[in-house]
A and B are shown apart, each in its own frame.
Chain A
Amino acid sequence: MKIIPFWGCMMPLKYPQMELAIRRTLPNLGVELVDIDDFTCCPDPIYFKARDKMKWLTIAARNLAVAEETGLDIVTMCSGCISTLKEAQYLLAEDQALKDEVNKRLKRINKEYKGKVKVSHAVVVIRDDLGLDVVKKSVKRSLEGITVAIHYGCHILKPSQIMHVDDADYPSILDDFVAAMGATPLEHHEKLLCCGKGCMDDELPLDMTEAIFSSIEKSGADCMGLVCPTCFSSFDLGQIMISRKRGKNYNIPVIYLFQLLGLAQGLGPEEVGLHTHRVKADKVLEKIVG
């Protein structure tokens, strides 16, 4: 299966270990990544959208138009990118006047958004197009007994009428993904709480991150597993911030689920960039790699 990866900004520039994990694991599932020029930032669904929603929509429509020209589906690995691109598609389909206005701007660069491109997220492609059996078959190293507290993050699920990914209240897509790798997803109380990153305040995001970690701590999970780079920043660097500002040490490693998939496929920790994380994963890696 050929797909066009839409990398966005956070993964290639801030957390390249995530891009690395994707590039190493997806080919093992039979996916060929066709990189193309010409994408910009999606743009981000929090700050840039807060600054100017119309410009946010225009840039998103340009990215969609670029993808449309290729005739292939685009696949994002970032919850922020999927949020922006899917919502832009929804708004442009819902409001013809808005679409005309955006296309008027795109015409300046000889582009047009028609509304034909399919935008998806890698975990959705795996569940719906490839099937989880393909994941199971790619496993070379057992993750049996490894417990993962999953953090869904908001943007991949909500609003469900736009995202069409899963039930926003009782999601299972990431749990099933982790189970297919052979690890055990663990329930915890704050599994669906927002990481708080989008809130423009110093303390509130830390309160929310802390609530999530104290819930995970009680669950006894070996690590936290997620798919959102923004949540990752709240939790990896966030644990250091909480330790510094509030004197609490959770020491729960945060693992991007494609890094975990890489470990299950037999890759070494450095091959999926786990050495770049602030909160070291040594303890769980000892269990996995030995």
Chain B
Amino acid sequence: MAKKKVVVNFRFREKLNKIPGGKHHNYCYQCSACVAVCPAARFSKEFNPRKILLQALLGAEEDLLGKDSPIWLCTNCYSCYERCPQDVRPIEVIIALKNMAVEKETAPTNLAKLTENITKTGMSVMVSSAVHRRRKELGLPELKTIPLDEMKEILKDEETKEQSSIEQKTNK
């Protein structure tokens, strides 16, 4: 039988190591305890957390970050984190991989829609007039103010922050 050459993409793994939770992928010894408790694996043949960890160890960027990547089938239930004897925290590795897919612009398009409210308004659900009406009908108090400016300030990347302070200086 012809042997297939395995090439490990260490550059990919180094990148994964830098995202919070990413470096725990190094601890995986492929025992499959995560698969046994994974509800997504129970209901879908396409999803297998052990395989995702193996692909992470190999640095299989195309499989993990492609548009058809199975990582998005993860239910985020934390059963793998609970069960893993190696403290791999598979779900956290998968979330780190999702961050990489977002950066590569291969994440599902509805992810941006599901999250844009938070950066725009500070809340994940739109504060519409219907919300105010429904709360009033139930006799609930007015909503508290949302400190959007503060939230935006802490989310600024260093470069844009410097830029904005330069802008402020020139405005003065």
Q: Which residues of A contact B (CB under 8 A)?
A: 9-10, 12-14, 16-17, 19-20, 23, 35-41, 43-55, 57-59, 62, 91, 95, 98, 105-106, 108-109, 111, 154-155, 158-160, 168, 193-194, 196-201, 204-205, 207-208, 211, 273, 276
Contact = CB atoms under 8 A, between A and B. Distances in A.
A159 B78 contact: yes
Contact of B115 (A16, A51, A207): A51
A98 B18 CA distance: 11
A13 B74 contact: no
Given A47-B115, A57-B20, A200-B111, A105 B154 contact: yes
B138 A50 contact: no
Interface in B129-168: 131, 134-135, 138-141, 143-148, 150-151, 153-156, 161
Interface of B: 19-21, 39-40, 43-44, 72-79, 81-82, 89, 95-96, 98-99, 102, 107-108, 110-112, 114-115, 118, 122-127, 131, 134-135, 138-141, 143-148, 150-151, 153-156, 161
Contacts, number: 168
17 contacts: A12-B140, A13-B126, A20-B139, A38-B147, A41-B123, A44-B118, A48-B118, A49-B95, A50-B102, A51-B102, A108-B153, A154-B79, A158-B78, A193-B39, A204-B43, A204-B44, A208-B43
B143 A12 contact: yes
B20 A13 contact: no
Task: Name, among B110, B139, B144, B154, the residue most crowded by chain A CB atoms within 10 Å (CB to CB).
Answer: B154
Given A43-B124, A51-B111, A208-B39, A17 B138 contact: yes
B40 A199 contact: yes
B79 A43 contact: no
Contacts of B39: 193-194, 196, 208
Task: Name, among A40, A91, A109, the residue most crowded by chain B CB atoms within 10 Å (CB to CB).
Answer: A40
B82 to A, nearest CB: 5
A49 to B, nearest CB: 6
Contact of A40 (B19, B43, B146): B146
B111 A47 contact: yes
A200 B143 CA distance: 31
Given A41-B118, A49-B95, A54-B20, A208 B155 contact: no
A198 B76 contact: yes
B144 A109 contact: no
Contacts of B148: 40
B115 A40 contact: no
A205 B75 CA distance: 8
A49 B78 CA distance: 14
Contacts of B161: 108
Contact of B21 (A23, A41, A53): A53
Given A51-B102, A111-B150, 5 more contacts: A13-B127, A51-B115, A108-B156, A198-B77, A200-B73
Given A9-B125, A13-B131, A50-B111, A106 B154 contact: yes
A199 B131 contact: no
A17 B139 CA distance: 10
Task: Name, among B96, B131, B138, B139, the residue most crowded by chain A CB atoms within 10 Å (CB to CB).
Answer: B138
Nearest to A153: B77
Q: What are the 6 closest A-B residue pairs judged by CB atoms, nearest first?
A: A198-B76, A158-B78, A194-B77, A13-B125, A50-B98, A154-B77
B44 to A, nearest CB: 6
A53 B95 contact: yes
B123 A9 contact: yes
Contacts of B95: 49-50, 53
B138 A16 contact: yes
A168 B123 CA distance: 30
A43 B118 CA distance: 8
A158 B76 contact: no
A32 to B, nearest CB: 15
Given A36-B144, A105-B154, A159-B78, A16 B134 contact: yes
Nearest to B144: A37
Given A49-B95, A208-B43, A59 B124 contact: no
B124 A58 contact: no
A57 B20 CA distance: 9
Contacts of B125: 9-10, 13-14
